[in-house]
């Protein structure tokens, strides 16, 4: 699959088959992603891969924390966002809701518990950044993330970036035995999507360039 096709076809899947992904395939995807650009080739991202039964054990830990603390998904939860971005988020949620409801699921429950269960994916990749780096190096991590999900798509797997994990970073660092000096940026669920689930028919649209680009000439 060429890169433009991967870019156009990539989507976030929210239901995965309980089938293991070969470790060599995950290694290939990570090697592809490591080609992402970074300042002075520092490659500041630090990766932890959790598989199989350990992934399930971690999910149980996170779901327990969720029931105790109740921190949920949602843009603007930490601080207010400009209305333009909130409107896009609401539109996304509104469009997903009927698909989730058709599966006999409640939207909020499915998204929150699904995020911490990684939607059943057999592999989850955690991306960390050492706190000694300035926030500008998040750009490098973002490049790595973009390459990662495109590589997964090009190699026949589905993915879903999941940000809710950052609200449960203490539990994750404890599980992975990682220093507090490492900032959890995001996680990515990787696996074979369950195409029988209606939620995996969900496709987002992008804002026109007139909304996101300013030309100066």
φ/ψ of residue 82, rounded to 5:
-55, 145
pLDDT digit string, tens, across residues 121-130? 999 999 999 9
Using the predicted structure, report yes or no on whether residue 177 has a pLDDT greater than 90.
yes
Name the pLDDT band for 71 (thresholds 50, 70, 90).
confident
Euclidean distance between CA atoms 12 and 189, whole angstroms: 9
How high does pLDDT run on average in the chain? Answer: 94
> Would 216 be classed as within a structural domain?
no
DSSP string, 188-202: EEEE-B-TTSGGGG-
> Would 26 be classed as within a structural domain?
yes
- On the CB side of 118, CA atoms within 13 Å amount to 33
For the whole model, what pTM was predicted? 0.94
> Would 21 be classed as within a structural domain?
yes
> Would 211 be classed as within a structural domain?
no
Structural contact between residues 150 and 159, judged by C-beta atoms closer than 8 angstroms: no
Name the pLDDT band for 183 (thresholds 50, 70, 90).
very high
Average pLDDT over residues 62-89: 85
φ/ψ of residue 169, rounded to 5:
-65, -30
Number of domains composing the chain: 1
Question: DSSP code of 41?
Answer: G
62-81 in b/e burial notation, b at 16+ Cβ within 10 A? beebbeeeebebebeeeeee
What percentage of the chain's residues is helix, strand, coil (to nearest 5)?
50, 15, 35
Provide the 10 A C-beta neighbour count for residue 114: 21
CATH code where residue 96 lies: 3.40.109.10
> Would 155 be classed as within a structural domain?
yes
> Would 213 be classed as within a structural domain?
no
> Would 217 be classed as within a structural domain?
no
Using the predicted structure, report yes or no on whether residue 76 has a pLDDT greater than 90.
no
């Amino acid at each position: 699959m060429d890169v433009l096709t991967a870019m156009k076809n990539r989507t976030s899947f929210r239901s995965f088959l309980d089938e293991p992904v070969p470790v060599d395939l995950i290694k290939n995807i990570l090697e592809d992603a490591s080609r992402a650009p970074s300042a002075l080739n520092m490659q500041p991202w630090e990766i932890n891969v959790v598989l199989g039964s350990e992934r399930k054990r971690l999910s149980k830990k996170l779901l327990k924390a969720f029931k105790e603390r109740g921190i949920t998904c949602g843009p603007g939860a930490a601080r207010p966002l400009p209305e333009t971005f909130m409107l896009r988020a609401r539109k996304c949620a509104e469009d997903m809701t009927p698909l989730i409801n058709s599966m006999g699921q409640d939207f909020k429950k499915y998204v929150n518990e699904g995020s911490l269960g990684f939607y059943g994916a057999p592999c989850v990749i955690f991306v960390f950044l050492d706190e000694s780096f300035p926030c500008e190096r998040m750009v490098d991590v973002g490049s790595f993330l973009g390459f990662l999900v495109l590589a997964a798509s090009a190699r026949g797997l589905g993915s879903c970036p999941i940000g809710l994990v950052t609200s449960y970073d203490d539990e994750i660092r404890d599980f992975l035995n990682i220093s507090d000096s490492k900032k959890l940026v995001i996680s990515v669920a990787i696996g074979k999507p369950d195409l029988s689930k209606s939620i995996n028919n969900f496709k987002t649209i992008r804002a026109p360039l007139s909304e996101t680009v300013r030309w100066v000439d």
